Amino acid sequence: MSLATLTLTLLMLGPAPPAPCVRLLVRPQVMLSKGVITVEVHLADHPDHAVVMVAWTRDGIDDGRFFEEAPDMVVARTLRDQPAGAYHFTAAVFDAQGLRRGIAEADIRTAEEPDR
């Protein structure tokens, strides 16, 4: 294979998609009764990450949020005594100027909700 053919092939393939800047994991995935929710935000190692915000709703109503300044690569919180319900979590990471650098979402469903 010639250098020109190799170069053309690599250009056609393009760069690999970037890894997500932020990943969000919440447990449990199904909430049947009052209990504990574990929230983990995993960040890519990047010097621009200045603040992480996590916000959530329960059954469509704002239920809470927290902020972490100068976050480590993993930000974890335990939310105790949470009522059963359908939760939607959003995690966002911001730089020092307040520009959003990444966002991730995760859900906890009730037994009545279909699998997603």
Domain ranges within the chain, ordered by starting residue:
19-108
Q: Which helix (H) or strand (E) holds 9?
A: helix 3-13
Averaged pLDDT for residues 93-104: 93
Q: What percent of the chain has pLDDT above 70?
A: 80
**What CATH number does the domain located at 19-108 have?**
2.60.40.730
Query: What pLDDT does residue 71 have?
Result: 81
CA atoms in the 13 A half-sphere facing the CB of 21: 16
User: Taking 70 as the threshold, does the pLDDT of residue 112 lie above it?
Assistant: yes
User: Taking 90 as the threshold, does the pLDDT of residue 79 lie above it?
Assistant: yes
User: Taking 70 as the threshold, does the pLDDT of residue 2 lie above it?
Assistant: no
- With b for 16 or more beta-carbon neighbours within 10 A and e for fewer, the 86-115 pattern comes to bbbbebbbbeeeeeebbebebebbeeeeee
User: Taking 90 as the threshold, does the pLDDT of residue 36 lie above it?
Assistant: yes
